[in-house]
Amino acid sequence: MPVNPARGPGISVCVMTSMRGLLAAGAAGAVILTSGAAAQAATAATASTSGAAALTGAAGSAIPDFKPPKTFGTTFQPDPGHDFTKGIHSRRDGILRGWITTVRGGTAEYVPIKWKKGTVTEGQFVGPAEGDAMAYASPIAKDVVFLSAFGCKTMGSMTVDRNTGLGAKRCARSVLIKRHAKMRMPSLITVYKGKIVKVQEIYTP
């Protein structure tokens, strides 16, 4: 079944309800969904994101323990000091809630995203409006840590940390590039020393 990356894969209402309940029970914060369903994870729990310092790339380089943003934050993350008029360049070190828009020669362009509540549906992630200069570009590290919420081989799996709603299956860099070059996948993107060193997909029902 095809996937809408901003809203998530088409799964049964029963599975969606069960997943939302599990996320609400384990997350540190929540977003109240307009459909009246159970609260959904809004803050990434420390078990998955604060443990980033323990993750290493293939070369054995540790990823710093950056403070994560709210997973379902409803505003774009501010980036004070970044001059968007000087061409597209890397974001400062830290974790951005965003998605990759383009991949060229191992360099990814990416933008911040925010959760927009719906009136008929629960809502979806959205990026900046057309024409807004809020894009970044960084090389994807050779030893990038890619944690998928939908498996490595196909998009039919659900490989999610049930406490956070974030991807838990480590996949190859080639999978990250192939998938994220084709579709916009909500993710927590970690930038360190000018490179993307970690991408952790956000599961959205």
Task: Name residue 108's amino acid.
Answer: A
**Considering the chain, what is the average pLDDT of its residues?**
78
* Residue 4 CB-density burial (10 A; 0-12 exposed, 13-18 middle, 19+ buried): exposed
**d(C-alpha 195, C-alpha 192), whole Å:** 5
Q: Please give the residue that has the higher pLDDT: either 7 or 144.
A: 144
Provide the sign of the torsion angle of the four alpha carbons 15, 30, 121, 97, taken in this order: negative
Pick the most confident of 13-27, 122-136, 159-173. 159-173
Reported as a single tens digit per residue, the pLDDT across 107-128 is 999 999 999 998 888 899 999 9
Pairing of strands 136-148, 195-201: parallel
Provide the sign of the torsion angle of the four alpha carbons 11, 126, 199, 49, taken in this order: negative
- The predicted pLDDT at position 6 comes to 63
**d(C-alpha 171, C-alpha 28), whole Å:** 26
Reported as a single tens digit per residue, the pLDDT across 56-77 is 654 456 899 999 999 999 999 9
Residue 153 clears pLDDT 70, i.e. is over it: yes
Is the pTM above the cut of 0.85? no
Reported as a single tens digit per residue, the pLDDT across 179-204 is 999 999 999 999 999 999 999 999 98
- The predicted pLDDT at position 132 comes to 84
Reported as a single tens digit per residue, the pLDDT across 33-52 is 333 333 343 433 333 443 43
Q: Please give the residue that has the higher pLDDT: either 10 or 156.
A: 156
Average pLDDT of the residues in 116-143? 92
